[in-house]
Amino acid sequence: MQIGIRTIILFILGVIGTLALIYNYGYSVPDLVEIRYGLPLTWGANILNTIAGPTDKWRVDPIILAIDAAFWFTALIAASAILNYRRGKPKGSRKEQLDSSRAQK
């Protein structure tokens, strides 16, 4: 079985998009400690500590999650369209082919 470069590029972009959706990073200020999820948009946060004391509260915004997922799916579709366009495009353009045929005559 032979896997083409197009398949590898789309697979890598899909993995990057999935990892970006579940990416988390800590946010800490003196009265708040939380873990935020999502890249490039933050769609969720797990609040661990507040000024009142320890807590375990989740804040999830499904609309931002949908926008974030749509961003990565759009990137995947755009990459696929670009790769399909490049695969169908001939090595030389039409103008170059005409110029070379005229030069041979």
Taking the model in full, what pTM does it have? 0.70
Q: Which domain holds residue 27?
A: 5-88
pLDDT of residue 28: 93
Tens of pLDDT, residue by residue over 16-44, are: 999 999 999 999 998 999 999 999 999 99
Is 26 contained in some domain? yes
pLDDT of residue 55: 92
Who contacts 43 (Cβ-Cβ below 8 Å, separation ≥6)? 21, 37, 60, 61, 62, 64, 65, 68
Distance in angstroms between the alpha carbons of the first and the last residue of the chain: 45
Is 62 contained in some domain? yes
* DSSP count for the chain of H helices, then E strands: 3, 4
* Weakly modelled stretches of the chain, pLDDT under 70: 1, 88-105
Is 23 contained in some domain? yes
pLDDT of residue 86: 73
pLDDT of residue 2: 76
How many domains does the chain contain in total?
A: 1
**Of 71, 72, 75, 44, nearest in space to 58 by CA:** 44
